[in-house]
Structure 1
Amino acid sequence: MYLTRFRLNTARLGARRLLSSPQMLHAGVLSSFADLPPAGEGTPRVLWRIDRNSKAETYLYIVGPDKPDLTHLVEQAGWPETGRWQTYDYAPFLSRLAAGDRWAFRLTANPVHTARRTDDEPTKITAHVGLRHQLGWLLKRQDSAGFKVLEKPAERQLIPGQDRYELIVHDRRQLAFKKSGQRQPVTLVTVTYDGRLEITDPDALRRTLSLGLGKAKAYGCGLMTLAEA
């Protein structure tokens, strides 16, 4: 597994076009690999995420089973003369994860649930739009994903009982774009989670970091990364 970081030049039209279309960016990411692994349950896949740290700093992160070649993205949306990307061997880091370790994390996800208005209607996948439900979406998945979000000491909770976790939700976006061959646009609600976690099951967390969490992985969701807390 490899982790890659690439800075986009948001002053360029090509970068702005890519950032406005998750489908175009997905295609650009996949074309970075000469040979894609066959899709299958439990098979490492290509995950990607956009981090908007500021107007001047927008990064593309990619995790995949092989090293990517981002030359085309540098030419289209970077700095052709000086632009580079950094790729790191992810396997040594993943192998060192241990139960009890604490890390800061970031995850962009598509928090959804199934719902229906009446008993006669089929269930429909619906986005969580409220902050409480978006937080709950991640907390419900933490055990199976191999971690637990750390809780704040009582004296640091702004609203006791409601502000329990070292976790914030930000950069909430509603995306709408058309897929080729479809008349109706695809709509997605995405949010970014920043927080602190403790590893409870290293193998499960390695799967989460390699396979992603939640739906809409083709459109920039599901990639979780860790950093020193």
Structure 2
Amino acid sequence: MFLSRFRLNTARPGARRLLSSPQAMHAAVMSSFPRLLPADGPAPDAPRVLWRLDQRARAEVMLYIVSPDRPDLTHLVEQAGWPAAAAADPENPGWQTQPYAPFLERLAAGEHWSFRLTANPVHTIRRKDGEPRKVTAHVTPVHQMSWLLDPERQKRGGFRILEKPQERRLLPHGTTQRGHPHHGDRYELSVADARSLSFDKSRRDGGSRPAKPVTVVTVTFDGRLEITDPDAMRRTLTQGIGRARAYGCGLLTLAPIVRAGRRPAAS
């Protein structure tokens, strides 16, 4: 397994095209693996290619990729990076890739980590009796947070979202009112960067009919978790969480918790 990081040059037209289309970004990411054919798909329990975009500032957008094979991002450097700078420094091809397996193998139950996850929180609904259930996105932060806090989802993922100490909660017991689904500030969890992505999905059968438009609602979760099942956590980190993984959702990453008054160690 490998973890890669690539910074997009947002001043270039190629970068703006990729950022405007999750389908184009997915195709660019999958083209980074010479041995992976377009029709290939992972086995249900096998590691897969996951990716996520993190926008730290208006001109700083990072692409993270977790993959079973080491990627070759030369085409991304040429389209959406700094190709002249990469050509001038043979030691820096324009992206960074590190083996992920050593980190995954060291994970242990009881460890606390900061995390980030971009996901597609959905549920199924039936508007009236007799009709099939329909997959529908959660659109409010309250329900999006509840999606990730679902006990079964956390158990399957091998983690538990940490609760805030009482002295750090702004609301009594961390909730707004008894029996209400709003979790208030009870948990070490925040929801931000909600987006609704709409695009036409390419038809694989070559038919002449236009493809049906696809809409994907994504949100980014930041928080702190405890590892409860290291094997399940490793599956989560290499297989992803939830739906729309081809469109930049599902990749969860961990980082050491930085305590107040302390600087993170250089990596």
For 1:178, give the aligned amino acid: D
Deviates more, 1:31-40 or 1:183-192: 31-40
Equivalent in the alignment of 1:97: 107
For 2:139, give the aligned amino acid: V
In 1, Cα distance between the equivalents of 2:121 and 2:243? 8
Deviates more, 1:201-210 or 1:156-165: 156-165
Normalising by the residue count of structure 2, what TM-score does the alignment of the two structures yield?
0.84
1:67 to 62, 67, 70: 70
1:117 to 116, 122, 127: 127
Shift of 1:121: 1.2
Shift of 1:56: 2.0
Shift of 1:155: 2.0
In 2, Cα distance between the equivalents of 1:186 and 1:150? 34
Tell me whether 1:221 sits opposite 2:249 in the alignment: yes
Equivalent in the alignment of 2:238: 210
Shift of 1:183: 3.0
2:163 to 151, 162, 182: 151
3-state SS, counterpart of residue 253 of structure 2: strand
Shift of 1:38: 4.6
For 1:34, give the aligned amino acid: P
In 2, Cα distance between the equivalents of 1:153 and 1:78? 43
Shift of 1:7: 0.2
1:86 to 82, 89, 96: 96
In 2, Cα distance between the equivalents of 1:159 and 1:132? 15
In 2, Cα distance between the equivalents of 1:180 and 1:150? 41
Normalising by the residue count of structure 1, what TM-score does the alignment of the two structures yield?
0.98
Tell me whether 1:10 sits opposite 2:38 in the alignment: no
Where do 5+ consecutive residues of structure 2 fail to align? 87-93, 176-183, 204-209, 258-267
3-state SS, counterpart of residue 233 of structure 2: helix
Tell me whether 1:166 sits opposite 2:169 in the alignment: no
For 2:171, give the aligned amino acid: I
Greater strand content:
1
Q: Which has the larger radius of gyration?
A: 2
Tell me whether 1:177 sits opposite 2:185 in the alignment: no
For 1:149, give the aligned amino acid: I
In 1, Cα distance between the equivalents of 2:167 and 2:130? 48
Equivalent in the alignment of 2:48: 45
Where do 5+ consecutive residues of structure 1 fail to align? none
In the alignment of these two chains, the number of paired residues is 229
Percent sequence identity over aligned pairs: 66
Runs of 4+ in 1 over 4 A off after TM superposition: none
In 2, Cα distance between the equivalents of 1:158 and 1:121? 43
